[in-house]
Amino acid sequence: MSADTNLDERLLKLIQETCEKPPNTPARQRGLNKLVFLIQKSGKIYYNHQLSQVDYEDALQKTWLYFCRNLCEAITAKNSYDANQGSILTWLNAYLKQRIKDAYLANQAQMAMTDLSPLDSGENARNPIENLPSPNYLTNNADQILQKIQQWLQSEKKRLRRIHIRDRAEINAHLLILRRLPPESTTWQALAQEWNIPPSTLANFYQRRCLPLLRELQHQL
């Protein structure tokens, strides 16, 4: 009998014993703790070297929570763990990989929106044009993020157009965000000149009204 087969059998036996215990009891909790310890000790938990340690630990913590809530009964998932569908390690790692993917996409979205960050609050804040980065890059993996932003702009066009600079309805959130998206992004200097408006006015509107909208989108990605 291979070591992997032996491990799977030990885990399955412990799962059966644990799930026989009533929910929310010390006996159930002890079983879950033993399972977590055994799985961690096995060294077979999926690890991603491209994700930061903080993001990976966060994804892993979410996975353990999912594990404890849905191993025996489906509390936050559609179905609880089913041994007939695969080993517990396969089930656990599948969920972990999805949480890692979520973290990766969130990071890519943040990169794609780097130009949408608030102005510096330090001494450089006196020159808003210099402090507004230009979105002149996107990683190859961020193409889908850019596509989602463009879809969001289209679906929310009416709402975004109602959010505009006072007495300048043509300078609205929809247009400003769209003009700043890569790869055809227009520089802040060019926008200020085109619209005959002080760059500080553009910067303040962007920070106060556009950023909250983009953060709203980012939470959905």
Interval 92-112: pLDDT, tens: 999 999 888 877 776 655 555
Using CA atoms, how far apart are residues 27 and 9, in angstroms rounded to an integer? 21
pLDDT tens profile 132-165: 443 333 344 456 777 788 888 899 999 999 999 9
Residue 84 pLDDT > 50 = yes
Using CA atoms, how far apart are residues 138 and 158, in angstroms rounded to an integer? 27
Query: Per the structure block, which two tokens stand in for 77?
Result: 């998932």
Q: Are 153 and 177 in contact (CB under 8 A)?
A: yes
Bridge pairing between strands 168-172 and 164-165: antiparallel
Instruction: Find the angle CA(24)-CA(98)-CA(81) to the nearest 5 degrees.
Output: 40
Is it true that the peptide bond before 183 is cis, omega within 30 degrees of 0?
Answer: yes
pLDDT at 139: 42
